[in-house]
Structure 1
Amino acid sequence: MASNRIGRINEEIQRELANLIRTVKDPRVHGLVSITAVDTTADLRYARVYVSVLDKSDVNEVVKGLKSAGGYLRRELGRALQLRYTPELLFERDDSIDKGAHILSLLRDPEVVKPANPANAHIDLDSEE
């Protein structure tokens, strides 16, 4: 039962932080910044926030900017959520979207992925009949 509660709290923190990031005044936090996941400890003292940025060259600067604005984000999060403790926010970069895109490109490459049945190798899946 408690894991379900933690899951709901993670989703609520993710939703609130996604709205609050737009209000951060730090110039390092710019561009399309998205919160991909939040993982809160069972005692609600710490929340690990996974951040993905569209411009990959600035991801380290964006994470530094978010760490710098952590106090502001925590205060605003505490006002929005009705929790006994507002968790301390630990920001980390998330490369899972890049890894997924890389795996998808490998799966679409005919040189890497061979047909499951060699007897069907002559079938062209990309052409429409």
Structure 2
Amino acid sequence: MPKEFSRIDRIGDQIQRELAQMIQREVKDPRLGMVTVNAVKVSRDMGYADVYISLLTTDELDADSPVVKDSLAVLTKAAGFLRGQLGRAMKIRMIPHLRFHFDAQLGHSRRMDALIRKAVADLPAQDGDDADTSTNEPES
């Protein structure tokens, strides 16, 4: 029997949807680039919500990058405003305090994808006979 979503998970999903829209529409700071809200983890007592974000840029970013630090500083400063807006948008009694974190998984996945592509490209070319046996068609 599959486990159903708990109330905390549903609240985290709703906070993620609401925050994504609010950050895009209502936070008007030029230091804040294109932010994606990847996940929201709400504590069991609903005291805190850890918001994991990533930035859409062409550069490889890590948590020590100045662009990331500026974006996190802007979001941390706007956390009270965003929490108030969440309180108006969501019909729950207690809105958790927001803590923003940089999610480096996108950079890791890009790096891994590049390594896999490089490894596949470096493989020696296989004979044509081996490529024909890899198809799923039955032999007659």
70, 80, 85: which is aligned to 1:76?
85
Specify the code of the residue in structure 2 equivalent to 1:90: R
Match of 2:21 in 1: 19
Structure 1 or 2, whichever has the larger Rg, is 2
Task: Indicate how the Cα distance of structure 1 residues 112 and 69 shifts in structure 2: closer, same or farther if over 3 A, else same.
Answer: same
Aligned sequence identity (%): 39
CA-based RMSD of the aligned residues comes to 2.5
Point out 4+ residue stretches in structure 1 off by more than 3 angstroms.
Answer: 111-115
What residue is the counterpart of 1:28 in the other structure? 31
Report the secondary structure of 2:37's partner residue: strand
Q: Name which of 41, 48, 54 aligns with 2:50.
A: 48
Alignment of 1:41-120 (within 5 A): 41-55=43-57, 56=61, 58-110=67-119
Q: Would the aligned equivalents of 1:49 and 1:91 in 2 still touch at CA under 8 Å?
A: yes
**Superposed displacement of residue 39, structure 1:** 0.5
Q: Does 2:6 align with 1:4?
A: yes
Secondary structure at the aligned position of 1:83 is classed as coil
TM-superposed deviation, 1:7: 1.4
Q: How many matched pairs?
A: 119
- Secondary structure of 1:109 counterpart: helix
* Mapped partners of 2:86, 2:127: distance in 1: 55
Structure 1 123/40 Cα, relative in aligned 2: closer, same or farther at 3 Å? farther
Q: State the one-letter code of the partner of 2:30.
A: P
Aligned to 1:118: none
- The TM-score, its normalising length taken from structure 1, stands at 0.80
Deviations 1:42-95, CA, capped at 9 Å, x for gaps: 111100001111234511101100000011000000111111210000001111
- Give the AA of the match of 1:99: H
Gaps of 5+ in 1: 116-120
Gaps of 5+ in 2: 132-140
